[in-house]
Structure 1
Amino acid sequence: MKSSNLIQTAAVFGALAVIFGAFGAHALEEMLVSTGRLDTYETAVSYHFYHSLALLMVGILSLQFPDKKRINYSALFFIAGILIFSGSLYILCLSQVTWLGAITPLGGLSFILGWVMLLLSFGK
């Protein structure tokens, strides 16, 4: 994946994290509180935003170190983590479809693998 594509993807994910956070805090707060899902939604937004920033960092690192091929795997795992972890929690909170909680850990595993790939990119 090209560095510019990674940075653009990070920018889109970052903007979406802010939008989802604001939407949850204003338009959905009453519904999230009444269903007991406010903490879950906030967790989804937090991990979404953290990993949008991590993806931005990976894009910048890939500009500086184009020979580090595992950086792309790190980016792909971060993208998958955002989609699976945060995405499943967003849908769970909005739809109350509880089986989605079963796939959320796969997104968490993707986040971990993204960080491990980043470590391996610069490890000896």
Structure 2
Amino acid sequence: MKKGLLLLAALSGFLAVALGAFGAHGLKSIAPPELVAIFKLGVDYHFYHTFAIIAVAFSGHWISSKLLDWAAYLFFVGIFLFSGSLYLYAFTGAKWIGPITPMGGACMLLGWLLFAIAIAKHPGNKS
């Protein structure tokens, strides 16, 4: 198990809950519904990838691979770029932020791929 990753995932989860609560309560009073929906999408993916980081951290108990480290790194970068850009867009409405979001999505996809490769390459039980 990777204790540092679990700590970072716990902090990421805390941030996701705080941002989700703000989006559900505070943002509704200052932003139009379409921007609130975009913010909520950012929170959803923030949560999904926080859970992915937890899975990677626990996988380190059984799998020893640098690919797990890279997968976790890419999940964090993906959260920052994908969810972060959606949060920023919901606050500002600035269209220039749009191209950042797919870069975060690509990081998330690559993180999942590396996670899968680390699992597939592990010489453990083949069941």
TM over 0.5: yes
Equivalence for 1:55: 53
Q: Show CA shifts across 1:86-110 (max 9, x none).
A: 0011011111221111110000000
Q: TM-score, normalised by structure 2?
A: 0.90
Unaligned runs of 5+ in 2: 122-127
User: Between Structure 1 and Structure 2, how many residues are aligned?
Assistant: 121
CA distance in 2, matches of 1:53, 1:38: 23
- Higher Cα radius of gyration: 2
Superposition deviation, residue 63 in structure 1 = 2.6
Superposition deviation, residue 27 in structure 1 = 0.8
Q: Return the match for 1:40 from 26, 34, 38.
A: 38
**1:83 aligns to 2:80 (yes or no):** yes
Unaligned runs of 5+ in 1: none
Partner-residue secondary structure (3-state), 1:32: coil
CA distance in 2, matches of 1:3, 1:48: 20
Equivalence for 2:118: 121
Partner-residue secondary structure (3-state), 1:63: coil
- Shifted more, 23-32 versus 49-58: the winner is 23-32
Superposition deviation, residue 43 in structure 1 = 0.5
Superposition deviation, residue 44 in structure 1 = 0.2
RMSD between aligned alpha carbons? 1.3
The letter of the residue matching 1:76 is: Y
Q: Show CA shifts across 1:1-20 (max 9, x none).
A: x8111000100101100000
Equivalence for 2:124: none
